[in-house]
Amino acid sequence: MRTFGELVRETPDEVRAGFRVHEETGASATCGYYGDPAAAAAYLAKWKTAFRPVDPRMASSTPNPEGEVWTTTSLAVDGAFLEGMTDGVVDVLARAAVAGRGVGAMLMGLSNGVASRVAMTDTAYPLRGTGLSSLLSAEWKRPADRKRAERWVAEHGAALRPWARRAYVNYLAPSTAERIRDVYGVNYPRLARVKGTYDPTNLFRSNQNILPAARS
C-alpha cells in the first residue's frame, strides 16, 4: 500500500490508478496510461518494477436467459476521500485488511486530472483536488453474518475519517443528515435550497438524502 501511495503522489493527467484488497483474492494494484504509447511505456515501467505484472485476461460466459440473480441479501458500505497514503492511513487499512479476511473488501481509486482542478463550489460534486476515493464494503448472505460485516465497515470507516476530506456520496449507505451535510460541505445549503424549491415535501428521500430548506 505504501508503494502504491508513493507512485500516485504525483501523476500526469493521463494516468488512472487503483488499489484493491479482496477478502478472497488478496491485494492488487492497477494503472492505466491513456495517451502517447512511448510516454505510457516510460511511465508504466516503474509500476512494473514495483509490482509483479499480471497478464490481462478476459473471461466470457453464456448469459443466463433468466437474467442475473444476486445471491447477496445485503451490503454494508462506507467511504472516505483521502489526500494520500500517510502512515496513519496505511496503518488503518492494514488492520482493516487483516480483520476483513472472509468479511469485506477495500477499493481505492485515484482522483486526478482536469476534474480535480474544478473549484469546489462550481458544481454540486464537492470532491475536488487530487486524492484517493476509498470504499469499504462487506456483504452477507446469512442473517448471522450481518453484525460482523456491519461492525467491520463501521469501525474501520470511522478510523479513516481523521485523514479524510469528506467522501464520495455513492460510497455511503443511507446516512444521518449530519454525515450528508459534512460530505457536501459548503455546497449543502445551496443544494438544500434547490431541494426546497423542487421537492419541498422530501418525496425523493430513499437515498443519501439532502433535506429541503424551508421556503421563506
pLDDT tens by residue, 188-204: 999 999 999 999 999 99
- The reply to whether 136 falls in a domain is yes
Same domain, 107 and 39: yes
- The reply to whether 116 falls in a domain is yes
Q: How confident is the model at residue 214 (pLDDT cuts 50, 70, 90)?
A: confident
- Specify the pairing of strand 15-22 against strand 104-111: antiparallel
- The reply to whether 117 falls in a domain is yes
Task: Please state the length of the chain.
Answer: 216
Whether the predicted pLDDT of 177 surpasses 80: yes
- The reply to whether 60 falls in a domain is no
Q: What is the pLDDT of residues 40-64, one digit of tens each?
A: 999 999 999 998 877 554 444 444 5
Looking at the structure of the chain, the number of domains it has is: 2
Same domain, 114 and 210: no
Q: What is the pLDDT of residues 61-105, one digit of tens each?
A: 444 555 544 454 588 999 999 988 999 999 999 999 989 888 999
Q: Please give the pLDDT value at position 59.
A: 42
- The reply to whether 10 falls in a domain is yes
pLDDT over 90 for what percent of the chain?
62
Q: By residue range, what is the domain housing residue 140?
A: 2-54+72-173
Same domain, 120 and 158: yes
Q: Please give the pLDDT value at position 12.
A: 93
- The reply to whether 179 falls in a domain is no
Over residues 159-178, the mean pLDDT reads: 87
Same domain, 29 and 81: yes
Same domain, 27 and 104: yes
Q: Please give the pLDDT value at position 64.
A: 52
Same domain, 117 and 91: yes
Same domain, 136 and 207: no
Whether the predicted pLDDT of 37 surpasses 50: yes
Same domain, 199 and 94: no
Separation CA 129–CA 39 (nearest Å): 24
Q: Cell numbers for 74, please give them.
A: 445485503
- The reply to whether 180 falls in a domain is no
- The reply to whether 67 falls in a domain is no
CB 208 within 8 A of CB 169: yes
Whether the predicted pLDDT of 38 surpasses 70: yes
Question: 97: domain CATH number?
Answer: 3.40.462.20
Whether the predicted pLDDT of 21 surpasses 70: yes
Q: Cell numbers for 120, please give them.
A: 469546489
Cα 21 off chain centre by: 13
Same domain, 152 and 125: yes
Same domain, 96 and 40: yes
Q: Please give the pLDDT value at position 56.
A: 54
The candidate with the shortest Cα–Cα distance to 130, out of 10, 35, 34, 46, is: 10
